[in-house]
Structure 1
Amino acid sequence: MTNIKIFFVNGQEYYTHEKISLFDLINYFNYKDSLLVLEYNNLVCNKENWNNIFIVTNDKIEVVTIVGGG
């Protein structure tokens, strides 16, 4: 039996069989970690914790990128 995890990133549904940390997820999508804020299940998540938090079914992750301008 496979353990498929269903999770959401910016409202879009994704599936995985793998054990994925928030850090792995950010790298997979090629985000620059210095230019974003990560919300994990409605709470802002400190970058220092990204390696220690692993995706489980029904997690909701919001990635907000910071854009400079002038």
Structure 2
Amino acid sequence: MENYITIYINGEPFNCQNNMSLRDLLLYLGFNLNSIIVEYNKQIVLLSQYTSVLFNQNDSIEIITIVGGG
């Protein structure tokens, strides 16, 4: 398991590859990148920064889905 680390997504542990970017992870999980807000270790991450965020052991992300209504 050397190539994997544990991060926390909305409080739940998740094992991911240690070289995955935030963008890679969100696409893997099936999120529409234009309809979510992501907090990484308590900091809001802009869409333009998703590819530059790489994970470390025990990092935490919160994913908030924006739902349109009418």
Q: Same fold (TM over 0.5)?
A: yes
Q: Matches of 1:34 and 1:62 in 2, distance apart?
A: 15
Helix, strand or coil: the match of 1:25? Answer: helix
**CA distance in 2 between partners of 1:22 and 1:12 (Å):** 16
What TM-score results when the alignment is normalised by the length of structure 2?
Answer: 0.89
Question: How large is the RMSD of aligned CA atoms in angstroms?
Answer: 1.5
Q: Percent identity?
A: 31
Instruction: Map residues 16-35 of structure 1 onto 2, 5 A cutoff.
Output: 16-35=16-35
CA drift of 1:6 comes to: 1.1
Q: Tell me, which stretches of 5 or more residues in structure 1 are unaligned? A: none
- 1:21-62 Cα shifts (integer Å, max 9, x gaps): 000011011100010101000010011111011011011001
Secondary structure of the equivalent of 2:64?
A: strand
Contact in 2 for aligned 1:37/1:65 (Cα 8 Å): yes
**Residue number in structure 2 paired with 1:10:** 10
Distance 2:55 2:30 in 1: 17
TM-score, normalised to structure 1's length? 0.89
Q: How many residues align?
A: 70
Query: Which residue pairs with 2:66 in the alignment?
Result: 66
* Preserved contact between residue 9 and residue 60 of structure 1 (Cα < 8 Å): yes
Query: CA, structure 1 residues 31+17, in 2 after alignment: closer, same or farther (shift >3 Å)?
Result: closer
